[in-house]
Chain A
């Protein structure tokens, strides 16, 4: 389905970029044809974002040449890239939250009248026109902070179009979108290519690549390892190119051997930050040796539920029992000591102390006990010993256990959390979005660890917004809607369609 006429709009030759101590891009060549969607696939840290930031003038390459529309260019700043028709939608949106859509769109290339006066009326009109022309619905006068992520992304695309972008770089655009929103985005991307825009689409989601791309470039360890055509590729073959070895996409697991109930939750109610009741009478039960997957659209009380269970948020009413003991409103430390491991939703905020070393992060749940501390004094030797052991055991890729946790990639951060949580004897594992934003290799690793825990007789509560994850890991599936469990079923009875309906609030 290549609609291209074979004209090259952008070419990079031998791009190399080093950051202090690491190679981010090693001798990468890349060609973009007019009107095509080129997907760039690669694991986290493979150099995708660095390469794109170079093409957008945010970083300057150490070696290599960039040619745009047949002309060799030196991009000193984004300004240079913009002037040559390169637009970029960053993974983290670059929008000023307190300003309106139109103000954000024109920022940096404003329309002005006399005495430097902004012509906002003209800006509003331009945004309205662009949004109509490309089917990107957005109100130019609404303020960014009131808009959902999907709409913010549209604003970013309009921003690029306003600057006459002919080459559009989308950096992980689907990471923050629901499946429906992602489909809408693909529609928009196709529409744009029909109008002659060429798109570089960065992702690590294999399915999307096959759906939307004309060609696929695969990056591994800062090198371009090959170009594939979706028609000739499969998810399996792409994953193998990306990771560099055989990859098991299907999670291998045996039949569950559930034992006696471990966790019993009876009709709990929990309030959210704004004092609204987010969990409204939730009950469930998990047995040892099984994984209960909780599926649901985000914002249906999952966060509050997990926080209440792990002692981070008070339970208003109802009870939580672990192994027959009432642990309702235990403190977080008491909950940990009862044998509950927690992989939190936001690993950077709640999972790790980013400024601490890896070794120190590994003992956050046990630093106050022997042998890590004695009479209130930390025993750094024991802590570092422990760190070394766990780093090896869980294959955390780092040059030193004394490196700050913040310097690790997403997958390795998660490995540190998993290593820490599994370093104590546990009965229950609470995993909230354990693989969000991770690459294939790390997802595989985390999934294996979760199943290993299940097989050793641990009860697992898996909360995830990714249906694929729920379906491939769970032994039983519960659907959460509006702070209640709408329905529970064995995995054999669960299908994508059925869960989708329940998640949207349909009656069981």
Chain B
């Protein structure tokens, strides 16, 4: 409360920096150490970590915006996959990458509205609603998939002058195609929106105590519809990232569980955008390291390396459950009923 002055200095610093800050400091020190040992490989791993983390953080933003407003979204995977597919098709048939990105985002938003319809208006079980989206996405994209389509190209890196020449951070943060930049910017935008704006305050109140929000004149249904729809856009963007920026083509089931890993990232990040970004980077780093080990000739059977992100997901979620005092938003998963 107010009497911080009497607290010991160490405790005060801990209170400021917190556990996220501590992890960050440890990470920076470790990176510097490795950089001096082998600068090329370190830069490669870091860059790969960012690339791997991009769809995860976008997926996590989708999940947390939904949950903060009281709706569980387990259909991120499906939204991502559909966004990837539609984005790719638009790119194939129009050759316009910007249009393709918008198409991917819109697809995600459309499925978001569908989820809101099921969980807010029809008051369906939200887990089932999300599963419907996943099954729908796998079925439709699989059915309409045509092999051998190719695009004009994919999004190209835009190095940022001067900054991209810096050691370590240059390759890691300032030499990316546009969607990676956008994902990083969105993390900060979402942080600001959720915690510093009127919209964010109302969103959180709807996720915590919808009736309290209703009694002060906030339209719970509208808040949920809008947020879940916007959130779907993030997942769609993650899908567009996969086909238009990372790979350049579409394959069946190419999201490969990223939508679910994104949920773990959201939980590990305590339902905050910055926390989720940290968690996404950690996952990205883990993935990058496993790839790097193979390049370095350390021979781990690929079944194990392929398993790694999922095992990490389970461990992380279990650990957060064991040690975390973090709570999900109180009203998450509950349809809101007006009584009048």
Is B one of A's binding partners? yes
Contact yes or no, A96 B205, CB < 8 A: yes
Q: Which of B202, B204, B209, B339 has the most chain A CB atoms closer than 10 A to its own CB?
A: B209
Contact yes or no, B212 A110, CB < 8 A: no
A38-46, A87-95, A300-308: which lies at the B interface? A87-95
Partner of B198, one of A58, A118, A141: A118
**Complex Cα–Cα for A139 and B2 (A):** 10
Task: Supply 28 A–B pairs (Cβ within 8 Å), ascending by A.
Answer: A53-B339, A58-B215, A58-B338, A58-B339, A78-B217, A82-B217, A94-B209, A94-B212, A94-B215, A95-B209, A96-B212, A97-B209, A98-B208, A98-B330, A107-B212, A107-B213, A108-B213, A108-B218, A109-B216, A110-B201, A112-B197, A112-B198, A116-B197, A116-B198, A117-B198, A118-B196, A141-B1, A159-B216
Task: Bits for B181-203, please: 1 = Cβ < 8 Å to A, else 0.
Answer: 00000000000010011111110
Q: With A107-B201, A116-B199 known to touch, is A59 a contact of B339 (CB < 8 Å)?
A: yes
Residues of A within 8 A of B215 (CB): 56, 58, 78, 88, 90, 94
Residues of A within 8 A of B201 (CB): 99, 103, 107, 110, 118
Q: B283 to nearest A CB, angstroms?
A: 27
Residues of A within 8 A of B339 (CB): 53, 58-59
Contact yes or no, B216 A107, CB < 8 A: yes
Q: Which of B193, B216, B330 has the most chain A CB atoms closer than 10 A to its own CB?
A: B216
**Complex Cα–Cα for A497 and B297 (A):** 84
Residue B252 at the chain A interface, CB threshold 8 Å:
no
Task: Bits for A132-170, please: 1 = Cβ < 8 Å to B, else 0.
Answer: 000000010110000000000000000100010000000
Residues of B within 8 A of A90 (CB): 215
Residue A115 at the chain B interface, CB threshold 8 Å:
yes
Q: Which residue of A lies closest to B214 (CB)?
A: A78
Residue B211 at the chain A interface, CB threshold 8 Å:
yes
Chain A interface extent, by class? 20 to 34
Q: Which residue of B lies closest to A81 (CB)?
A: B217
Partner of B340, one of A60, A99, A109, A141: A60
**Complex Cα–Cα for A104 and B204 (A):** 11
How many pairs of residues, A versus B, come closer than 8 Å at their CB atoms? 82
Partner of B202, one of A78, A97, A108: A108
Give 4 closest A-B pairs by Cβ, nearest first.
Answer: A108-B216, A79-B217, A59-B340, A94-B212
Contact yes or no, A99 B216, CB < 8 A: no
Residue A236 at the chain B interface, CB threshold 8 Å:
no
Mark out the residues of chain A between 47 and 63 whose CB falls within 8 Å of any chain B CB in the assembled complex. Answer: 53, 56, 58-60
Residues of B within 8 A of A325 (CB): none
Task: Bits for A487-503, please: 1 = Cβ < 8 Å to B, else 0.
Answer: 00000000000000000
Q: B124 to nearest A CB, angstroms?
A: 20
**Complex Cα–Cα for A285 and B33 (A):** 72
Contact yes or no, A96 B204, CB < 8 A: yes
- Since A59-B339, A94-B216, A107-B213 are in contact, a sample of 12 more A-B pairs with Cβ atoms closer than 8 Å, ordered by chain A residue number, is A53-B340, A56-B215, A58-B339, A78-B214, A78-B215, A94-B212, A98-B208, A98-B327, A99-B205, A108-B217, A110-B198, A118-B197
Q: A111 to nearest B CB, angstroms?
A: 9
Chain B interface main SS type: helix
Chain A interface main SS type: loop
With an 8 Å Cβ cutoff, the count of chain B residues facing the other chain is 26
Q: B51 to nearest A CB, angstroms?
A: 31
Residues of A within 8 A of B217 (CB): 77-79, 82, 108-109
Partner of A115, one of B1, B197, B208: B197
Contact yes or no, B198 A94, CB < 8 A: no
**Complex Cα–Cα for A116 and B339 (A):** 31
Q: A84 to nearest B CB, angstroms?
A: 12
Query: Which residues on A are within 8 Å of B, measured CB to CB?
Result: 53, 56, 58-60, 77-79, 82, 88, 90, 94-99, 103-104, 107-110, 112, 115-118, 139, 141-142, 159, 163
Task: Bits for B153-167, please: 1 = Cβ < 8 Å to A, else 0.
Answer: 000000000000000
Residues of B within 8 A of A108 (CB): 202, 213, 216-218
Q: Which residue of B lies closest to A92 (CB)?
A: B211
Q: B145 to nearest A CB, angstroms?
A: 42
Residues of B within 8 A of A94 (CB): 209, 211-212, 215-216
**Complex Cα–Cα for A58 and B338 (A):** 8
Q: Which of B193, B197, B200, B201 has the most chain A CB atoms closer than 10 A to its own CB?
A: B201
Q: Which residue of B lies closest to A146 (CB)?
A: B1
Residues of A within 8 A of B218 (CB): 107-108
Q: With A58-B339, A82-B217, A108-B217 known to touch, is A95 a contact of B212 (CB < 8 Å)?
A: yes
Partner of B197, one of A95, A109, A117: A117
**Complex Cα–Cα for A88 and B216 (A):** 10
Mark out the residues of chain B between 1 and 58 whose CB falls within 8 Å of any chain A CB in the assembled complex. Answer: 1
Q: Which residue of B lies closest to A94 (CB)?
A: B212
Q: Which residue of A lies closest to B215 (CB)?
A: A94
Residues of A within 8 A of B196 (CB): 117-118
Residues of B within 8 A of A115 (CB): 197
Contact yes or no, B202 A99, CB < 8 A: no
Contact yes or no, B198 A82, CB < 8 A: no
Q: With A107-B202, A112-B198, A118-B198 known to touch, is A78 a contact of B216 (CB < 8 Å)?
A: yes
Residues of B within 8 A of A97 (CB): 208-209, 330
Q: B37 to nearest A CB, angstroms?
A: 44
Contact yes or no, A58 B340, CB < 8 A: yes
Q: Which residue of B lies closest to A111 (CB)?
A: B198
Contact yes or no, B208 A82, CB < 8 A: no
Residues of B within 8 A of A107 (CB): 201-202, 205, 212-213, 216, 218
Residues of A within 8 A of B200 (CB): 118
**Complex Cα–Cα for A142 and B197 (A):** 19
**Complex Cα–Cα for A290 and B252 (A):** 77
Q: Which residue of A lies closest to B211 (CB)?
A: A94
**Complex Cα–Cα for A59 and B202 (A):** 22
Q: B66 to nearest A CB, angstroms?
A: 18
Q: Which of B198, B199, B204, B208 has the most chain A CB atoms closer than 10 A to its own CB?
A: B198
Contact yes or no, B205 A142, CB < 8 A: no
Mark out the residues of chain B between 193 and 251 whose CB falls within 8 Å of any chain A CB in the assembled complex. Answer: 193, 196-202, 204-205, 208-209, 211-218
**Complex Cα–Cα for A118 and B200 (A):** 9
**Complex Cα–Cα for A157 and B268 (A):** 37
Q: Which residue of B lies closest to A104 (CB)?
A: B212
Q: A497 to nearest B CB, angstroms?
A: 36
Mark out the residues of chain B between 306 and 338 whose CB falls within 8 Å of any chain A CB in the assembled complex. Answer: 327, 330, 338
Residues of B within 8 A of A88 (CB): 215
Residues of A within 8 A of B214 (CB): 58, 78
Q: B46 to nearest A CB, angstroms?
A: 33
Contact yes or no, B197 A99, CB < 8 A: no
Q: Which residue of B lies closest to A61 (CB)?
A: B340
**Complex Cα–Cα for A326 and B238 (A):** 66
Q: B183 to nearest A CB, angstroms?
A: 21
Residues of A within 8 A of B205 (CB): 96, 99, 107
**Complex Cα–Cα for A140 and B95 (A):** 56
Contact yes or no, A96 B216, CB < 8 A: no
Q: B328 to nearest A CB, angstroms?
A: 11
**Complex Cα–Cα for A260 and B202 (A):** 63
Q: Which residue of B lies closest to A77 (CB)?
A: B217
Residues of B within 8 A of A141 (CB): 1
Residues of B within 8 A of A103 (CB): 201
Q: B331 to nearest A CB, angstroms?
A: 10
**Complex Cα–Cα for A204 and B197 (A):** 42
Q: Which of A60, A94, A142 has the most chain B CB atoms closer than 10 A to its own CB?
A: A94
Residues of A within 8 A of B199 (CB): 116
Contact yes or no, A142 B1, CB < 8 A: yes
Residues of B within 8 A of A98 (CB): 208, 327, 330
Residues of A within 8 A of B193 (CB): 116
Residues of A within 8 A of B209 (CB): 94-97
